[in-house]
Chain A
Amino acid sequence: MTDASGKGGPTETLMVTKFLRARPQDSWTIDAARRHNNAYQTLDKAFAMEPDAVVQAVSDSVLRGKGGAGFGTGQKWSFLPKDVFPRYLCVNADEGEPCTFKDHMLLERDPHQLIEGIVVAAFAIRTDLAFVYVRGEFALAADRLGQAIRDAYDAGFLGKNILGSGFDLDLVLHRGAGCYIAGDETGLLSSLEGERAMPRIKPPFPAAQGVYAAPTIVNNVETISTVPHIIRRGAKWYNAMGENRSTGTRIFSVSGHVERPGNYEVELAKTSFRDLIEGLAGGVRDGHTLKFFIPGGASSPWLMPQHLDAPLDMDYVQGELKSMLGSGAVMVFDDTTDPLQVAWRLGKFFEHESCGKCTPCREGSGWIAKVLYRMANGQGRSDDLDLLLSFGNNIVPGLNAPFAQTTICALGPSTMSPVVSLNRWFRDEIIERMRADETRRAGLAVTPA
């Protein structure tokens, strides 16, 4: 592979994005996908296997969920209770994490890869009905996926007796109504049932009781899109990429103050943040320096320039850096950035998207946003940061990643991520600034008319 950045170091390893890169003009059509990408050719191989063998292959590959939590996909599939039917597969295409834009690219540009993955996964877990829950805002993605599903039915890759295997599968495209928390798997299931997208108490986990109280597997678009590659080339091939429990590739959506924002698929663990940000994305824009970056979506604690050489290894980032690779959205901020404004904007997002179910998140997210707004706009107090940490401790007991939580889902602790980051990296700077604001305000107040 050639060095895309020209700055050296490891480069992109294209697997799920290979075909859509190769044929940007028509990669989403079934003709192009079949003619130029051998689409649906793994089906025969999968159908020749026992379903449990497919699950085993996915387990052996150490494929981990690529939506954020990084849970072992094969392990999740194996949690399905034996012999309880009906059961369902649900693909989470409600990609709502700020600055994450990998799944909608896969949906728009290579829907047949996803459908092929769905057929294989559905065969593995022995269901005959699968859903794709597509985020409401994804108009083009829903159009193209809808067309792809129709084409797949026409070509016999969906429906009754697929390719003469005796395996039936119907695929339902469901469009959301615009709600971040429908991306939480149980929130998604509630929304799919027609209820408010509010996360459910776990247990029971969806694998025991998901949609319509039946066992349900919920997987991310990128995860399912990876499955055909594992089946086609084997678990060993897949887990030869990367290291430890971070195997294979992941797509990182790099955005912010970089020269070449975009999606980059790289080999996990063997690639560093520096390779990604300075290499592939072209580094911080000219004349500026990196101030901080967010490694895995709005929910992940921020990292600093000194962490650039850290590997893109899920366990390393979580264990050593107390952050996470999350949804793979890397946001880069240069020296022109006010971290308080960033924190406030993220806080505002979480306040807006809190579903309102759990008290700490419903009330706490609004409180955080209000205090951060004050702080970012000259009305802060020197003890505000400690106030945030103090009541935030009731959302995230201990304030340490991996975050504990007093809420049902992970949105609660996410609200504290910007605050924890501010405190970790910018505490002195902020307190000094708040003191200056206090002094300034006091000065204004006593100025004689």
Chain B
Amino acid sequence: MTTNAVPMSQWPSEHRYTIPVAPGPETVTVTIDGRAAQIPRGELLIKAAQDHGTYIPRFCWHERLKPVGMCRMCLVEIEGMRGLQISCATPVADGMVVHTTSDAVTTAQDGILEFLLINHPLDCPVCDRGGECPLQDQTLAFGPGESRFVEEKRHFEKPVPISDLVMLDRERCIQCGRCTRFADEVAGDPLIDFGGRGGSTEVITYLDEPFHSSFSGNTVQICPVGALTARPYRFRARPWDLASTETSCGACAVACRGSLESTSNRLVRLLGVDSEPVNQGWLCDKGRYGLDWVHSDARLRQPMVRRAGELVESSWPDALDAAAAAIRNTLDTHGPNGIAVLGGSRGVNEDAYLWARLAKGVLGTDHVDAQLGDGLPADVVLGMPRATIPDLDRAKAIVLLAPDLKEELPVLYLRVRRAAHDLGVPLVDVAVRDHGLTPYATAVLRHAPGDPGAAAGVVADALVGRPGRTKVGKAIVDATDGRDGPVVVILGRTSVAEHPDAIVHAASRLTGLPQVRFLSALANPNVHGALDLGLTPGFLPGRVSLDAGRDHFTKAWGAVPDAVGRDAAGILRAAATGEIAALVLVGCDPLAECPDRNLARAALEQADTVIAVSAFMDTAAFGATVVLPPTVWGEQSATTTNLEGRVVRLGRRVTPDGSTLESWRIPAELAARLGSDFDLETVDEVQDEIARVAPAFAGVDASLLRRARDGVVLPLADHADEVTFGRAGAGPGPSWEPILPVPEVVGDDDRSPSTSASDSPSAAVPAPTPPVPLHRWDAPPDAPSVPPLDAYALRLVAGHALYGADAIVAATPALASLTHEPTLGLNARDRDRLGVHDGDRVRITTARGSVDLAVRTDAQTPPGTAWIVANAAGPGAPDLIDLTSPVTELRVETIS
């Protein structure tokens, strides 16, 4: 027996064992309660039974965790084997005959439940889990009616906080180890474990180290009792009062599938749904608990128009008229080139498309950019060969040219970690500083900020078997030798303090590798949808360039801009000089998001007209001419595109308070007022128009999106066989089980899955060829010049923290407390060289500006560099960065 062929059932406690991605193709015949079934060899009995309609009760076993055999609830009788066997650790064998409801089994189940209940407090009426509790449900189904235990129960102080978000009630705990195993096996944050033994076994955190994990909420979801409760949700709802809708999370570009739940028209809970190609059931805490912002008092619920210098509340017709008049006025005075549209990376596909159509088809301006200097060139993102998330599992190697995924795209971090740590995929870490995935890397290459090219060259050579003379090169060759599969490069902005050309050049050195595919690490929730749908200069919706798509779109829209417009940096510069007079800000705040705050400030101050489409009175809206508040995530149904290019549906769960407009109607209404009626009544019609017009979206219409369980990866022509319909298992599980995706069924839709022949997952999806060839990225040959290192200066590295200063965090009380003051992270060597100590305030000066921050020793930051979080509130990295300079050099002086 070799260790790399060990079936899932045979993982002992150790983590050095290799996990098979799936049981093998060969099947065996197993009879479960009299029914024979064909089951893949190596599959666990409990899973096999579940897939064939027999539910075996369990507490400790979870599909996404290694079996541990603790609770003993899943005992079954297997003919020919002595005693009862735990089905969670028994792989199926050919000819196995299993009884799950025999007398011996039911007696044992009854006994296990009696044992579990003797020390359980039975405080169900005041327990958050009451009503959806597996212990309740299984006691009702399989357990004894009353207890024979007359002794004193076990007592603990209850509940105790184990982190800012999670409370632990040790009396309710049934010691299944799901939370501890999740933290260790899946999250890689083994900060909770069992302490004590026997009846005194309790879940503990370590001394002075709370359960600070960005994934702590998953433990609450999978807890089979009410031992772990979420502080934001505690006592806010009873399960039977909840209404739920399947949706995708809107916190980042992974777009994890979730079940959004509300009571009394308030969003109270988001639970992870197990979508195999996307999130495998997990969510990060920001996504899971970022709900209250939707109902925040700070939300704008009425449009506003500036009258006599003051923003005053207005009606929608008046506000839209005012906005249209301001735009028409600018068109009259400055022509199309006097107007620019910024933002859209936090919206939905439908509004992105219609803003692009409004700007490019109606106003005639190509000065449109969804990214604010914090992203990658659209040329690269739209034209690079794209990977999907499941490609990570079967990759030859994963190359990181990306920021800290644990902070920026947490659930993608989980998937990469799983691939590297559990599936044995070699992980190559190219970065300036250490980050969340560094401990799992096969090879680590460090480079100076702004200069990743040479490191990427080493990787490129090593991946074609040329180790060069470096140790890392040899390590990569050794690790990838004999492995098949794509090379997946995760590409993002490693630092917003350097020009994107550097990372693009590094990526270009990898484009020649066989089977290379790129996975974008841009983090804004719908940045990929916005780019795909034309909110970027030089491109039209559907991943076609302005020139390539000119004829097609002129036919569809009537007109397109003549020349390629400016990107965000260019727009802001032109606005600052008065060339651009009107700025339309679509759900973005350049002062908070643009890495160059001075430039953004100058632009906003100079612009004659600022039309802000914003849910909050942020700094940009504060100075706007017209403020138009859209409905937001959870309030409207729409679609979003994740970092793979996967288009998924967003569900509507609550009715918005006040008077907001569905976000896609705002550009449509403005267009109508500017003389172009788009003639779109419903969101489905927008989706159908996108499918008809945008080449990359060919075939991805409202009907397909409604039926596709895990969404549709663009372009459909390349991914038609990945589309699955219907549901995977017997039905939606309770929240502690992996929740399987359920497609929304619309009654009057005759193509709904219940009546359609395409109900079976294998039904073929027609894959139309895009009418216009999609854009391809031709890697630029020249390396950008990087200034030599200045021995007296430090080079800035700036990246995003999970809990930054964005609206989701700021307007959600549970998350707002998790943000940190920005600090200057220095290597201990630089700290000592500068003669400063932790906590000292220093003045940091660059060519662009200067800020005062406290010093913090940061072992992850190498000597010669300085680390500042780019998205913290208050003065910080954006005050120091110049969008046009290749790197940001800074000097530090002490202040008294």
Chain A interfacial positions (CB closer than 8 Å to B): 81, 84, 179, 181, 186, 190, 193, 195-196, 198, 200-201, 203-204, 208-209, 212-213, 351-367, 370-371, 374, 387, 390-391, 393-395, 397, 404-408
Q: Which of A81, A358, A361, A370 contacts B69 (CB 8 A)?
A: A358
CB distance from B351 to the nearest CB of A (A): 52
Q: Cβ of A212 and Cβ of B198 under 8 Å apart?
A: no
Given A406-B111, A407-B72, the answer on whether A213 and B16 have CB atoms closer than 8 Å is: yes
Q: Which of B12, B82, B198 contacts A352 (CB 8 A)?
A: B198
Q: Cβ of A213 and Cβ of B199 under 8 Å apart?
A: no
Given A84-B1, A200-B12, the answer on whether A366 and B114 have CB atoms closer than 8 Å is: no
Of all chain A residues, the one with the shortest Cβ separation from B174 is: A359
- Give the chain B neighbours of A405 by CB distance below 8 A: 83
14 A-B residue pairs with CB within 8 Å: A198-B13, A200-B12, A200-B13, A212-B16, A355-B197, A356-B175, A357-B68, A359-B73, A391-B114, A393-B107, A394-B108, A404-B83, A406-B83, A408-B69
Of all chain A residues, the one with the shortest Cβ separation from B193 is: A196
Segment at the interface with A among B115-123, B232-240, B831-839: B115-123
B151 at the interface (CB under 8 A from A): yes
CB distance from A299 to the nearest CB of B (A): 16
Q: Which of B6, B16, B115, B151 contacts A360 (CB 8 A)?
A: B115
B448 at the interface (CB under 8 A from A): no
CA distance A357 to B198 in the complex (A): 8
CA distance A180 to B70 in the complex (A): 18
- Give the chain B neighbours of A181 by CB distance below 8 A: 197
Contact with A along B63-95 (1 / 0, CB 8 A): 000011111110100000011101001000000
CA distance A360 to B14 in the complex (A): 24
- Give the chain B neighbours of A360 by CB distance below 8 A: 72, 111-112, 115
CA distance A243 to B199 in the complex (A): 43
Within 8 A of A (CB), among B484-531: none
CA distance A340 to B168 in the complex (A): 38
CA distance A430 to B93 in the complex (A): 48
CB distance from A72 to the nearest CB of B (A): 18
Q: Which of A196, A201, A374 contacts B12 (CB 8 A)?
A: A201
CB distance from A6 to the nearest CB of B (A): 45
Given A200-B12, A201-B89, A405-B83, the answer on whether A387 and B69 have CB atoms closer than 8 Å is: no
Contact with A along B103-131 (1 / 0, CB 8 A): 01001101110111011000000000000
Q: Cβ of A365 and Cβ of B198 under 8 Å apart?
A: yes
Q: Cβ of B151 and Cβ of A213 under 8 Å apart?
A: no
- Give the chain B neighbours of A358 by CB distance below 8 A: 69-70, 72
B762 at the interface (CB under 8 A from A): no
B213 at the interface (CB under 8 A from A): no
B469 at the interface (CB under 8 A from A): no
CA distance A358 to B118 in the complex (A): 15
Q: Cβ of A356 and Cβ of B194 under 8 Å apart?
A: yes
Q: Cβ of A359 and Cβ of B10 under 8 Å apart?
A: no
CA distance A449 to B125 in the complex (A): 41
**Dominant secondary structure at the A interface:** loop
Q: Cβ of A406 and Cβ of B199 under 8 Å apart?
A: no
Q: Cβ of B199 and Cβ of A366 under 8 Å apart?
A: yes
CA distance A351 to B197 in the complex (A): 9
CA distance A359 to B617 in the complex (A): 55
Q: Cβ of A84 and Cβ of B148 under 8 Å apart?
A: no
Within 8 A of A (CB), among B135-180: 148-149, 151, 174-175
Q: Cβ of B72 and Cβ of A391 under 8 Å apart?
A: no
CB distance from A30 to the nearest CB of B (A): 36
Given A195-B13, A353-B198, A362-B199, the answer on whether A393 and B111 have CB atoms closer than 8 Å is: yes
- Nearest first, the 4 closest Cβ-Cβ pairs linking A and B are A394-B111, A356-B201, A354-B198, A363-B115
- Give the chain B neighbours of A84 by CB distance below 8 A: 1-2
B3 at the interface (CB under 8 A from A): yes
B17 at the interface (CB under 8 A from A): yes
Q: Cβ of B119 and Cβ of A363 under 8 Å apart?
A: yes
CA distance A374 to B75 in the complex (A): 32
Q: Cβ of B201 and Cβ of A362 under 8 Å apart?
A: yes
Q: Which of A201, A356, A391 contacts B67 (CB 8 A)?
A: A201
- Give the chain B neighbours of A371 by CB distance below 8 A: 151
- Give the chain A neighbours of B1 by CB distance below 8 A: 81, 84, 204, 208-209
CA distance A192 to B204 in the complex (A): 22
CB distance from A398 to the nearest CB of B (A): 9
Q: Cβ of B115 and Cβ of A364 under 8 Å apart?
A: yes
CA distance A406 to B72 in the complex (A): 7
Given A201-B89, A351-B199, A363-B119, the answer on whether A213 and B3 have CB atoms closer than 8 Å is: yes
B766 at the interface (CB under 8 A from A): no
- Give the chain B neighbours of A355 by CB distance below 8 A: 197-198, 201
CA distance A40 to B84 in the complex (A): 47
Contact with A along B1-30 (1 / 0, CB 8 A): 111001000101110110000000000000
Contact with A along B425-444 (1 / 0, CB 8 A): 00000000000000000000
User: A204-B1, A391-B115, A395-B111 provided; 10 other pairs, C-beta below 8 A?
Assistant: A201-B69, A201-B86, A203-B10, A208-B1, A354-B198, A355-B201, A356-B200, A362-B115, A363-B118, A391-B114
CB distance from B81 to the nearest CB of A (A): 11
Contact with A along B388-416 (1 / 0, CB 8 A): 00000000000000000000000000000
Contact with A along B186-203 (1 / 0, CB 8 A): 000000011011111100
CB distance from A212 to the nearest CB of B (A): 7
- Give the chain B neighbours of A209 by CB distance below 8 A: 1, 3, 6, 10, 12
Q: Cβ of A370 and Cβ of B151 under 8 Å apart?
A: yes
CB distance from A35 to the nearest CB of B (A): 44
- Give the chain A neighbours of B3 by CB distance below 8 A: 209, 213
- Give the chain A neighbours of B6 by CB distance below 8 A: 204, 209
- Give the chain A neighbours of B118 by CB distance below 8 A: 363, 367
Q: Cβ of A406 and Cβ of B75 under 8 Å apart?
A: yes
CB distance from B20 to the nearest CB of A (A): 15
- Give the chain A neighbours of B193 by CB distance below 8 A: 196
- Give the chain A neighbours of B198 by CB distance below 8 A: 351-356, 361-362, 365-366
